[in-house]
A and B are shown apart, each in its own frame.
Chain A
């Protein structure tokens, strides 16, 4: 069973608010990822990290930012939420030669 956790599971928030989506894993994985999943279910990589203090932007441009100060923690922040940020956000982690393990996701709605 994968030990990767995302909080909150659901979030409804007003436009202009700052939000942080949390992602933590207890498997000691060095690699972590954030994906945005659109209503058609397609997955888009928005951020990834290969280790502490290493973050890269993904294939889909995003206004969000991430940090990786500790191995187990990879939070995603939106400084000013907009309705266009409404989506499902999936966090994942992996070791170098293993598959990725996914959290349960955060469904964000910006009103």
Chain B
């Protein structure tokens, strides 16, 4: 079974600075998706960024980028120019792409990000 580990329960960053959230995962599959989700205090889960395992290029979405290291099974999220609206719980998630039907979304335990004004 796949597992996702987020070793940082809480992180804080000064507004306008850069912060990196860590995520590692364990899988025996070669084809899968990785995601970062954000859950603000209003509690609706929102997709931040996704990465396909077969793509070597790291995904980028505006101020959000990932460092995907497939061999190390590492998938960190970098937030540049942090803004107050970035304060939220961030979840790393894994989803298999290999087997039809075995496509559960497995989440890490989350990292609570605080932005310091």
A residues engaging B (CB < 8 A)? 31, 33, 35, 40-43, 45, 48, 50, 58-59, 88, 90, 92, 94, 96-97, 99-105
Contact residues, B92-106 vs A (CB, 8 A): 95, 97, 100-101, 103-106
Number of contacting residues on B, CB 8 A? 25
Residues of B within 8 A of A (CB): 33, 35, 37, 39, 42-47, 50, 89, 91, 95, 97, 100-101, 103-107, 109-110, 112
Contact B45 A92 (CB under 8 A): yes
Known A-B contacts A42-B109, A42-B110; the reply to A90 vs B45 at CB < 8 A is yes
Q: Which residues of B contact A101 (CB under 8 A)?
A: 47
Q: Which of A41, A96, A100 contacts B89 (CB 8 A)?
A: A41
Task: State the CA gap A96–B91 with chains docked (Å).
Answer: 21
